[in-house]
Amino acid sequence: MTSAPAPSAEVRLAASPALTPLLARGALLSPLKRPRPGADGPGTRLVLPAPHVDTARLAAYERVCGFPTGEDALPVTYPHVLGFPLAMRLMSAPGFPLPLLGLVHTSIRITRHRATPPAGDYELTVYVDGLAPHRRGTEAAVVTELREGGDVVWESRSTYLARHRTADAGRQEEEKKKERDAPLPAVEEWRPAGDVGRRYAAASGDRNPIHLYPLTARLFGFPRAIAHGMWTVARCLAAHGTPDATRVRADFRAPVLLPGTVTYAAAGGRFALRGEGGRVHVAGEVAPA
């Protein structure tokens, strides 16, 4: 059963929060939190009027993810970058019931209703849409909405998993995911370099240490740095292409170690990123909205 969020309290921000202090706060509070599906999610809705699109950082993001630079519309994944500091403020707060350390981004669903020019007059809203049991722990759903003139022009729903012992709920959904994973034909091979995590961090502001250097990644149990999940899906969508009005589904299955070799595969609206032995790192689908 999903835990519904508490009644909403809207908080309007004067500027986008700085990510580094939020990461530090979340790390310090993590040992004090004990995840459980029945916990209440925070009821705060954070609103950022007129989010700033830095053209230099946007261009750096486009380059590292493989999108064309200087387009008339933001890349389909870029509003997630704008909303991520707000999401981190919610997930690092004392009232968020899941520990930030070890929290895994498991999926994202994006709907873009129309093209979003970089110079648009936007407003961002981010909130936690409740907690739900997962076969490996508890998942939180974070919703991001980009509005222009009062209309939602882009929205996403991300799930973040806190692992802990469970009664193995959700096996049926995992089986459905496997059914969707019929192998796709390979399109091309990519060799992400060891600095991809640092380049994406500089462009997005997300400087999680697991993505930066082998040493900092080993502190969290990884043999070397891993690619940001949102870099992997953005790279796939840059190769796949998306219409102005589109729906995107992406499930993150396994981390991509850096440096490494991966295979981009696609057919019709489906795409995947595979590693050695056919291991699926990302699987997704693009459809008209």
DSSP per-residue string spanning 165-231: --S-TTHHHHHHHHHTTPPPPEEEEE---TTHHHHHHHHH----GGGT-HHHHHTTT-SS-B--HHH
Q: Would residue 44 be called left, alpha or beta, if left means φ above 0 and alpha means ψ between -120 and 50 degrees?
A: beta
pLDDT at 41: 77
pLDDT at 1 over 50: no
Residue 234: CB partners within 8 Å, gap ≥ 6? 65, 66, 67, 75, 77
Average pLDDT over residues 186-208: 96
pLDDT at 166: 73
pLDDT at 154: 98
pLDDT at 168: 60
Confidence of residue 43 (pLDDT cuts 50, 70, 90): confident
pLDDT at 171: 52
Four-CA torsion 144, 27, 197, 181, nearest 10 degrees = -60
Average pLDDT over residues 5-23: 86
Residue 16: CB partners within 8 Å, gap ≥ 6? 48, 51, 52, 82, 85, 86
Average pLDDT over residues 218-240: 96
- Secondary structure E strands in 91-176: 104-112, 122-134, 137-148, 151-163
Of 24-28, 135-139, 151-155, 211-215, give the lowest mean pLDDT range. 135-139
Edge to edge, the sheet with strand 137-148 lists: 9-12, 44-49, 122-134, 137-148, 151-163, 104-112, 246-252, 280-288, 270-274, 262-267, 186-190
The model's pLDDT over 179-189, given as tens digits with 9 standing for 90+, comes to: 456 789 999 99
Average pLDDT over residues 106-121: 97
Helix (H) or strand (E) holding 251: strand 246-252
Q: What is the CA radius of gyration of the chain?
A: 18
pLDDT at 180: 54
Of 31-45, 162-176, 195-209, give the lowest mean pLDDT range. 162-176
Nearest to 126 by CA among 21, 54, 44: 44
What is the pTM (predicted TM-score) of this model? 0.91
Separation between Cα atoms, residue 243 and residue 111, nearest integer Å: 11
Average pLDDT over residues 217-221: 92
- 67 C-beta neighbours (distance < 10 Å), count: 21
pLDDT at 69 over 50: yes
pLDDT at 177: 53
Average pLDDT over residues 62-88: 97
The model's pLDDT over 130-176, given as tens digits with 9 standing for 90+, comes to: 898 888 889 999 999 999 999 999 999 999 999 887 766 445 455 55
